[in-house]
Structures are given as structure tokens and as C-alpha cells.
Structure 1
């Protein structure tokens, strides 16, 4: 039976919130605020969780929206099923299963990086379940893998390695310090975390960029109003991916932040929250 009540462990760890069965996967998810539901899908860094990804913007956004932020299978505090195939099919089924379990016919979908690829795939495969899209530093179109993404996906646990890959994420160097690196390193070595992460993107890693990409004709056919957000100085996912998406998606608008790396929702948290909140609450465009 699904349990949608807050987990008792949440008081000890803010990353752990509610638990529910989504397409057969026990899913840890945050569910805060009121308004039209918006599904927030995190990125694919080592030790990542929905809370780590969205913690700075959830309070402001939950004043306007119902923010639903799950840990995707193999990440965070959701289940890591034995023999699971970590691929678009599994993750999209989990996301749709979460909407089903919550009784939601439709939601906006906000995808960060890897989560952007999932958001695109959801909109293509289940167009009526998605109202609007927000794609931030998004994967989902073809590009040559960057040194930064190759390093992130190739992470092996050590403080030094975590410190090194975090240097790729932020333009603002003050955000990347030893204390944060230690916290993220500790997160990456929780039981089961590295085992699932290490199995997802083994070398050569260009094939996983390609596997997460949707077909151009399917993206061009999307009817959804779409906000595309990118950091101009992103060294993990190149700006060209968002330029491509802005060209291919007919009802798209593109917002590029200068002096910003891959962490738009952290480096420009207040501006990001206002931009996304305004976009998702404005009246539909003709």
C-alpha cells in the first residue's frame, strides 16, 4: 500500500520526505505548496537527490505551485530495484506512475540536465499528461560529450574527486568550497548510492548522451509552451543544447544567464524561481 505521509526520518534528514509506489518503484518525493502541480526532475550528479537539487527554490515556488520533486530510481532515497535497467523507459514510467499514484491527470514538468531529457521524453510519449515544460541546462538532444560531463558521470568516490568535479558546476567559485565538497562526497558514499550511479553511465559515455536524446522530429512536433534556461558559462552541458531546443520547439522561449555555470537554480536561485514561477502561472498563450 502506498504511504503518502511524511516519513519519520524526514525530521533527521531533509532529503527524505514522503514515500509512494510509482510504477512499482518505492519513490521518495517532496510534495509542497498548492496550485497547479509541477513535477521537478533532478540532474544526474553523484549523490544527488531531489532536495539537494531544488532546496533553494522550493520554498519560493511552493508559494505559487504544488511542487512535486521525486528522487528518480537509482538516485537519492528512492528504491534501487535488483536488476533494474536505468534508462529512459524506466524513469519515464516512474514519473508517469507517480502522477498516477497522486491522482494527477496533468502536470507541468521542470527538468534539470538529465531531468530535462526525461521531461522531453515524457512530453513526447505522454503529451496529454504534460501542460508546460521547463528545460534547464538540458540533455535530450545530440551533442559531443563535454570534459565536464564525462568527469561527472565517471566519478569514483573520494573527497578529491568530488572537489574536482564540483569545479565544473559553478561559475561563482565561492560556491565551490571544501565544506560543500565534503557534504556531497559523504552523500555519494551512502549505502547503494555509488553502486547504482556507477552502473548507469560506464565508459565510453558518449553513448549515454545519445541514449538520452529524443528524435528531432519528435521534439519539433511538441505543442507545449516551453521555457528553456541555461547558464552561458556551463561547462557540463553546452549552451548549444538549449539553442538547439529553442530552434526545434515551436512554442519555446530561451533565457540565458550570464556569469552562470550548470547550477542555474543555485547560482541564480531567486531569479530562477521568479522566472519559472511567472512562466508556470501566466495565462495560456494562443
Structure 2
């Protein structure tokens, strides 16, 4: 038996753009691709475990580990960067036979979702950007600490304190689990290779040109925690200024963990946004009414 066979983080495996990719696939209906953040020891399951099941009641939820994270392949000498991650995400959609999907991106994953929508607009229906990068900002001490993580239980505890507004959520057990995740074979090596100091350049590398963001045609929901110490709230306001078809939702008393600190509310918000009718196009799950079956009334 594989030592990780009972690990909920390990799900299905498929080759996406040449990368053996670990991914979760649950529910049915319109496909939604969940793209995780870039914390140490992160995986799709760790990031989205509280969202996947509620959202899967309304949609087909696909949550991959991006290259260099979680249980996806870490090829020797792999050039980590936006080009490679976009190729992997599109490759996953191709491998699963999905022509178009909604994208939900967290932090780093938000920047990736933006880049994918810019480069492959025909593959995207709607966007949700949560605590997102993707626009220029000055590196925060919080993000510098996340990307500069050196494995220890104390360091992980300190990081979790940065992530959460409500420190009671940061238990010793959670810190131990995330620390142990960060020291699995290969995890820290690939993580340290992605965002070495000086780290402002990686903030800039994850940003998309503002002119391109202004041309994104998709309905977009921007979500942010007011007390986020990793990615500044100003990012959400800037994205709201740039994106043409945009809604903004800010959670008070919330840090960088919207999907955990306000899990039930976030699941409903995202589910409702993705399910609502778009006046510019029919929803893929709702047939357009024909004259023969229209009902009349007041």
C-alpha cells in the first residue's frame, strides 16, 4: 500500500502539458477549476477542502496541484513561472476534454487565473479572484515571510498567525500538520526554488499588464479579506477599477484565508455568482426557453 494512499490530498492523476498532475474531480455540471495559493506545503485539498464539497453540489469541481506544489510532478530543472503554470492549467482542461470552465483563483492562483483568461479567453466563462495577486504592489512583510519560509514548527505557526485574522483558528495541531506537509520529500526544495530573494521581482512576474486586464471580457467576482496581511486589500480595489464586468466583496474580520475563515459564506457567494444567469449568454446548464414552452404570467 502506498504510504499516502489514505491521504485526502492525493486524488486522481493525469498528464497535463507533460506534467503528471494530482487533481480532485467531484460533482457534476458546469466545470469549475480551483487554483490554489503558493504557501509552503500547500495543496489543492489543503486550500479548498471546505469549498469543494459545497460547490460540488452545484457544479463539477476540479482542483489540481500546480507543478511544484502538492502531489503533482516536480521535474528536475523545471522552469517555474507563469508560462509553465498556464500551460499546465490549459493542458489539464484539454486532458479532461473541457472546452471552457469557470476559474476560482486564490492569491497566486488568482494571478494565474487572470493570466489564463488573458491568454486563452475562449477557455474561460467566469472568474473569481480571492486575495489575488496579478497587479503590481509593494511586497508585504507577510508575503515575504510566506515565500521566505524555512521549515520549522515555530516558523509555520508564525505564518499561520499572519494568514488568519482570528488567531483561535491557528491551533498547534494545524501548525503541526502544515509543517509536516512542508517537509515532505521534494516540497521545500521546489518551493525554495520558486520565489528566492529579492522577492519583489516575483510579485511583478505574477502581474498581468493592466491594459490586458482592462480587456478581460468575463464576468468577475473579486473577494478579499479586509485584514489581509499577505496580499493588500488595495489589490482588490485596483482589480475592481480595471476589470470591466466586475463585482467586489470584502469580508471584515478576515485575513488571507477567506475560504477558511468565512467558509460557508464564501461557498454560497461563489456558488451563487457562478450559477446566476448572464444576460449576455445562456448558462451552460439552463436551456434557452423556446416560444413553445414559455409561460406567461405576472
Instruction: Provide the TM-score with structure 1 as the length reference.
Output: 0.96
Mapping of 1:171-210 within 5 angstroms?
171-210=165-204
Partner of 2:105: 111
Aligned-pair Cα RMSD in Å: 1.1
What is the rounded CA distance, in whole Å, between the counterparts of 1:272 and 1:8 in structure 2? 34
Mapping of 1:148-167 within 5 angstroms?
148-167=142-161
- Seen in structure 2, the aligned counterparts of structure 1 residues 42 and 175 have a Cα distance that, compared at 3 Å, is same
Pair member with larger Rg: 2
Check whether the contact 1:9–1:16 (CA below 8 A) recurs between aligned residues.
no
What is the rounded CA distance, in whole Å, between the counterparts of 2:64 and 2:4 in structure 1? 14
Partner of 1:59: 53
Partner of 2:293: none
Runs of 4+ in 1 over 6 A off after TM superposition: 7-10
What is the rounded CA distance, in whole Å, between the counterparts of 1:12 and 1:37 in structure 2? 26
Check whether the contact 1:27–1:77 (CA below 8 A) recurs between aligned residues.
yes
Instruction: Provide the TM-score with structure 2 as the length reference.
Output: 0.92
Partner of 2:294: none
What is the rounded CA distance, in whole Å, between the counterparts of 2:3 and 2:36 in structure 1? 21
1:26 aligned residue (6, 11, 20): 20
Deviations 1:125-172 (A, max 9, x none): 000000000000000000001000000000000001111111110001
Unaligned runs of 5+ in 1: 1-6
Q: More displaced, 256-265 or 169-178?
A: 169-178
What is the rounded CA distance, in whole Å, between the counterparts of 2:2 and 2:128 in structure 1? 32
The Cα of 1:203 is off from its aligned counterpart by: 0.4
1:245 aligned residue (230, 239, 243): 239
Partner of 1:136: 130
Is 2:280 aligned against 1:280? no
Partner of 1:4: none
What is the rounded CA distance, in whole Å, between the counterparts of 1:266 and 1:118 in structure 2? 21
The Cα of 1:285 is off from its aligned counterpart by: 3.2
Deviations 1:11-58 (A, max 9, x none): 510000000000000000000001100000000000000000000111
Q: More displaced, 251-260 or 276-285?
A: 276-285
What is the rounded CA distance, in whole Å, between the counterparts of 1:232 and 1:96 in structure 2? 32
- Seen in structure 2, the aligned counterparts of structure 1 residues 58 and 260 have a Cα distance that, compared at 3 Å, is same
Check whether the contact 1:10–1:17 (CA below 8 A) recurs between aligned residues.
no
Unaligned runs of 5+ in 2: 281-298
Is 2:39 aligned against 1:45? yes
Partner of 1:217: 211
What is the rounded CA distance, in whole Å, between the counterparts of 2:207 and 2:252 in structure 1? 26
3-state SS in 2 of match to 1:57: helix
